[in-house]
Amino acid sequence: MAIKYFKLLDMLQRQGISKGQFAQMTGLSSATVAKLSGHRPVNIEIIDRVCRTFNCQPYDIMEYMPDETEKSPDSE
């Protein structure tokens, strides 16, 4: 998966917020928090909820990082 949540995880660590506290603050299930921690896909409502909770933009919590195995259009 090319979307990574390193920015979100870093923000939580810098603010001293545990994953349990994060789940409680956002109303997310522990399974959804695990998906974010594992850089797995989540739906846009989850991103919306996190952004509303932390008053931030999606680019503040996630970024696109192409997989090593993905071909760029230029390589063909």
pLDDT in tens, 49-74: 999 999 999 999 999 998 776 555 65
Residues 4-54 pLDDT 10s: 999 999 999 999 999 999 999 999 999 999 999 999 999 999 999 999 999
The count of residues in the chain is 76
Supply the pLDDT for residue 75. 52
pTM comes to 0.84
Looking at residue 66, its pLDDT comes to 87
3-67: what fold? 434 Repressor (Amino-terminal Domain) (1.10.260)
Q: What is the pLDDT of residue 31?
A: 97
Residues 6+ apart with CB under 8 A from 49: 26, 27, 28
- Yes or no: say if 66 and 2 are a contact pair by the CB < 8 Å rule: yes
CB atoms within 10 A of CB 8: 22
